[in-house]
Structure 1
Amino acid sequence: MTIDKTSTAIWSRLEFNRLIDTWLRERHPELTARMAERVGGSAGIAWEIPVGHQAVLAVCTRYSPGGFHAWDGVLLRGSDGRTHDIAPGDLAGLMLDSFDGGTPDTRRLVSERVNQSIESSCRHAAFRSKQEPASTGARAERSLWFGHPFHPLAKSVVGFTSADFESYSPERNAAFQLCWLLAEPDIVVSYICTPESMARADALLMEASRLGATEIAGRTLIPCHPWQAARLREHPHFRDHLASGALSLLGPSGEFATPTSSVRTVWFEKRGLYVKLPLEARITNFSRVNSAEQLARSIAGARAIAAAEEQVRAAGLTILEESGGRILRRAATDDAQQTCPETGFLLRSADFDEGVDPIVVAGFVEPNPRTGRPNLSAISGGIFDERQRTLEWVERYTEIVLLPLVRLLATTGVCLEAHAQNSLVAFDEGWPSRLFVRDLEGVAVDRECFAQAHPRIVTDLDDALFYEREVIWRRFLYYVIVNHFAHVLSAVAELADVDEARLWAASRYALETHVGPADTIIARLLSAPSLPAKANLTSCVVGRGENPDYVMIANPFVAGRSPVSLGRIQLRGASS
């Protein structure tokens, strides 16, 4: 599929943004600090960014306190002093060649994967540029042709062929039938939130499979991605189960499922059911299988959330119910820990109220390949055409999205991994109205705080759920503030063409005027000099994708204090 000149220019510019912003964040914090120190920011200023013995020359066209800068006029100045154009893939190669971590082989491998990601994003952009704007929940899940702006492997899926991308990628509007494993109950390990919720989810899954009770014949139904099913046939443990008659593989058959933005989680919209499937494809940093430990953590998190139902409701958000999951045991063992992570799955209920169509955050901050502007523009109407309404929108987003997460952490010690792909927001005429959070695998709980609120259940929960308080705080700052909230404010700043620092000041004002149990956490958030950010490029090079390195970045809320915030307060007074 060909891509027109306009979308090509947008794709190229955004790939440069991703590479340069990531490089600055991970390799040149001193230059980032210099950018922040300039009076009036850095917009319109040409910068020289070292890459080994060479340098990238680029003009910062939009400065972002959260690090989401925009760049133009990118050139490379070689060690001989001469300047010339460079393609994004070639720039990525130079960056990796100059890396002082990893080995030559790992740097070469990462360079190949970065180029694969760049090429995939170009092909996805060509397809998405012909589609309708992502103004609905379903379209937003499929809109991520570009993806994570600080992950150079954002659109890399090792193991997928071109045909696989067409058949299974959300970016290509894929819809497909699942395969179905029928397993004797004694080789299945189950993780259940409550028997009632699991029974409801199992019934929905069986309806989606369109298999009857006669076909299932008392066996346990296990959904399987068709790409994964082809690989399971080659697994020795799977072949043992097939040979013994303990397992059968059917399909593809049943109702069509649509993949969500995570690729491996699928959605049966008619049933209100998400199925988190295992995929041994290497999506970004690592293979996306579901181990017994991950299933146990998720369901322990679901049980904790169920116990804290009152506090969740009082906090003002909705957490989608993880009903349960299952995984196959390896053959010839009764040990529940000897399982096959390539078969583990989770069932998640999402029976949204009629008329409610929440949109994944990663989808509405994603740039549209036709215009280069965030998809939020198709949702917000003309809100961001007016400066005052823009500031009010940011305050509303703070109240509807950020404050509920802070309140839940303060009252229960539960930190949700509410990053941009796990958070969905419902809108009312362009204004945020409700936060929904999905996927409890990354939930982290402060044992002492949770025990004070729910002493009876805390001892029954999996120990993997509990973290040290400082680790929880770091996770909250990264997933909620750096990954999610900063991305939204950068998108709004672009759409409204305003200084992003003003938006951080508006959010700061909304937090400072809040009164309640979250005040201590809010004060700590607003006074923290720095925030943790994942170093995705570094982590890929040194082979720590599943246990990534972090770097510290300046806290944009600190930059958003007086006198800018005083100006915001005066604006409010003038308009009331």
Structure 2
Amino acid sequence: MNHIHNAQKGILDRLMQCLLREKLIPYKEEEGAINIELSKDSSIRIGVKRKFYLNRIEISDVSYILSSGTTRIETPEQLIHLLQLYGLFPESEEAAVFSRELQNSTENYQLSLKEFSKRQKSWLPYMEQYDNPISWIHQLAVENETFSPLAFFEQLAIHGHTLHPCTKTKMGMSLEEAAVYSPECGGMPEIVYAAVHKSRTAASLLKGTEIKTLLFQQNDALEEAFRNELDSQSLDPEEYELLPLHPWQAEHVIPELYYGELQDRLVVLIEGIKEPAFALASLRTLLPAAQGRKNPYHLKTAIRVQATSAVRTVSPASASHGPKFTQLFQELANRPDFPETLILVKEEGGIHFKDQGSSDEREKNLAAMIRENPEVYTDSANGELAIPGVALISDSPFGNGSLLTEAVRLYKNSKDSGSLEVAAEDWIRDYSRLLFQSVLPVMTRYGIALEAHLQNSIPVLKHGAPVKLIVRDYGGIKLYNKRLQKTGLEFVFQMETHVEALNAEALQDTVSHAIIQNHLGELIITLVKELNIKEEKFWEIASEEMDLVWNSLYDDPDAPADRQAMMERELSLKSLVGMRLKHTIDNTYTKVPNPFAAVKEGGSKRAELQN
């Protein structure tokens, strides 16, 4: 029952904060509360335990107040029903769909909490042997060269997107399937492989000419199974390419959407092999389990399931551009002004079905990316661990708050800090420096805005201390050729894509949303809640580190404009619910107070900026 309550409260809190932050409903602030007037004698009262920068709040309770009495609002459905009753929320088809997504998110969040609780009990024996779960996982990596710390940490992402009320939405997937396939449930899907006739594929590779050559490197049995299957049907293996499929996609989508090709044997499912894999934080990305961290690749598969606001297929543009972005990044990485602390994961190959009728639906549902395994950049023998950012704000396996606080405890011991508070401040300084010196110069010097939010970012910690930043997934980056041309290079887009930036503002919005709001801001709020430290101090520290990076870019003509954009009194934040109600994937933004502007102007300005 506790899981049900916690899941409902978690989704209700996210929904309420989005409605307020995106100004989708009128409200007034009161002492310790926010009031939404419904009519002359009715209102909704939101109890506010405390406020944070970036217009975040910690909600204690939500109540429906009438002259006849008060009723507690417990679920997102109750809230939306009330708002619609008083004409403050649309009753459109989009709103009805959104309501169903919220319900699905709540159910899956409940499952996530329940399954994680079970997994946590299985880890209890290790608490007697290790005082910190990061130390435990490091020891496992030292003892077993195939054990993947990254996969373990990816599967800690039980809370998902902390801003999005559809954080756990998996529309199209049953709860039983979610329990098997979701990373937060310890999911181990079995990868299915499909041979696809080369006349029906389009591929882009960093090296070589065939995707199957890359895939064969993972598993000796895969090539044999591929050839045996095609030989048994009197088909020539040389005429076929190979694609990894998520098992959910192989069961629910492939038989229907590619029925004709299956009948004509232009698409052939390989029966002789199913490969167990770890489900990673993005649900559709898989790490074959046999070699674990020694596996050369992560496989990003297409899955026609809506997670948060998007159906997680693989677009032809992503499949085509991924390896070409990597070629560009490799050339830039060889330049002396490229950040030493930044590692951009290689997209080794992308492949998608080529439909003769140019059906986007068919092209993106039979597609995949072959991505370099980020763990090749970590040295476990030297104390390094790759931890996806999203895992840091998730619960510790040992139940001692968040994994981030565990990292700070480890950092405190390794640095011999005087107190946990001092260690937290020093950790944020080190982390801010790493984040800013990795991401900001790439935007300013090269016109590339990395979408380095918590899920795409993999900080490498050494005894708790952040030492490198690995960034993956380039489907949401922005590339501005006008700036890139300063380097003597230009990126040629193969097809229309939202990745192409038309102005500098697109770069600045992407970076500020990713690294300030959906990255550093989340880490700071987590530490403030758990350690009861003044938030302003963290932002002052981060501001000092950002200034150092801008100062180092003094000779770049675009640095002043970028610096000014990051120091505006307000920053752009994606309108997560607003975009959903408009049924658009095009980014639209709302404005939130900028903590960097606030600390520059002094603490007395904070209240003014918050309102």
Q: Deviations over 1:376-412 (max 9, x none)?
A: 1232226585333222211111111222100111221
Give the structure 1 partner of residue 522 of structure 2.
Answer: 487
CA distance in 2: counterparts of 1:458 and 1:125, whole angstroms: 44
Give the structure 1 partner of residue 368 of structure 2.
Answer: 345
Aligned residues of 2:385 and 2:462 also touching (Cα < 8 A): no
The answer to whether 1:256 aligns with 2:290 is no
Aligned residues of 2:453 and 2:515 also touching (Cα < 8 A): yes
The answer to whether 1:358 aligns with 2:349 is no
Give the structure 1 partner of residue 552 of structure 2.
Answer: 516
* TM-score normalized by the length of structure 1: 0.86
CA distance in 2: counterparts of 1:29 and 1:559, whole angstroms: 25
Amino acid at match of 2:204: Y
Q: Deviations over 1:323-367 (max 9, x none)?
A: 111111225x6x798962100110001223331431111111134
Residue 305 of structure 2: SS of its match in structure 1? strand
Amino acid at match of 1:25: R
Amino acid at match of 2:49: T
Aligned residues of 2:434 and 2:466 also touching (Cα < 8 A): yes
Give the structure 2 partner of residue 113 of structure 1.
Answer: 101
Give the structure 2 partner of residue 445 of structure 1.
Answer: 479
Amino acid at match of 1:229: A
Q: Quote how far apart the aligned CAs of 1:65 are.
A: 0.3
Aligned residues of 1:191 and 1:296 also touching (Cα < 8 A): yes
Q: 1:421 aligns with which of 442, 452, 455?
A: 455
Aligned residues of 1:144 and 1:366 also touching (Cα < 8 A): yes
Q: 2:318 aligns with which of 285, 290, 294?
A: 294
- Give percent identity, aligned residues only: 16
Q: 2:154 aligns with which of 141, 147, 168?
A: 141
Q: Deviations over 1:502-544 (max 9, x none)?
A: 1111100122234312653663245211111111112222212
Q: 1:85 aligns with which of 72, 76, 95?
A: 72
Aligned residues of 1:290 and 1:345 also touching (Cα < 8 A): yes
Give the structure 1 partner of residue 139 of structure 2.
Answer: none
Structure 2 residues without counterparts, runs of 5 or longer: 124-132, 135-148, 231-236, 413-418, 605-611
Q: How does 1:235-246 map to 2 (within 5 A)?
A: 235-236=256-257, 238-246=258-266
Aligned residues of 2:193 and 2:274 also touching (Cα < 8 A): no
Give the structure 2 partner of residue 223 of structure 1.
Answer: 244
Amino acid at match of 2:296: G
Give the structure 2 partner of residue 322 of structure 1.
Answer: 347
CA distance in 2: counterparts of 1:8 and 1:498, whole angstroms: 30
Give the structure 2 partner of residue 160 of structure 1.
Answer: 173
The answer to whether 1:557 aligns with 2:585 is no
Q: Quote how far apart the aligned CAs of 1:479 are.
A: 1.8
Residues paired across the two proteins, number: 545
Residue 389 of structure 1: SS of its match in structure 2? helix
Q: Quote how far apart the aligned CAs of 1:158 are.
A: 0.9
Aligned residues of 1:178 and 1:223 also touching (Cα < 8 A): yes
Give the structure 2 partner of residue 25 of structure 1.
Answer: 21
Aligned residues of 2:113 and 2:158 also touching (Cα < 8 A): yes
Residue 470 of structure 1: SS of its match in structure 2? helix
Q: Decide whether aligned partners of structure 1 residues 452 and 513 sit closer, same or farther in structure 2, where only a CA change above 3 A counts.
A: closer
Q: Quote how far apart the aligned CAs of 1:310 are.
A: 2.2
CA distance in 1: counterparts of 2:595 and 2:221, whole angstroms: 46
Aligned residues of 1:478 and 1:533 also touching (Cα < 8 A): yes
CA distance in 2: counterparts of 1:497 and 1:199, whole angstroms: 52
Query: What RMSD over aligned residues (CA atoms) do the two structures have, in Å?
Result: 3.1
The answer to whether 1:540 aligns with 2:580 is yes
Give the structure 2 partner of residue 496 of structure 1.
Answer: 531
Q: Give the stretch that moved more between structures: 192-201 or 107-116.
A: 192-201
Q: Decide whether aligned partners of structure 1 residues 89 and 486 sit closer, same or farther in structure 2, where only a CA change above 3 A counts.
A: same
Q: Quote how far apart the aligned CAs of 1:99 are.
A: 6.6
Amino acid at match of 1:440: Y
Q: How does 1:66-85 map to 2 (within 5 A)?
A: 66-78=54-66, 80=67, 82-85=69-72
Give the structure 2 partner of residue 276 of structure 1.
Answer: 300
* TM-score normalized by the length of structure 2: 0.81
Aligned residues of 2:409 and 2:420 also touching (Cα < 8 A): no
Q: Give the stretch that moved more between structures: 416-425 or 129-138.
A: 129-138
Q: 1:188 aligns with which of 171, 180, 201?
A: 201
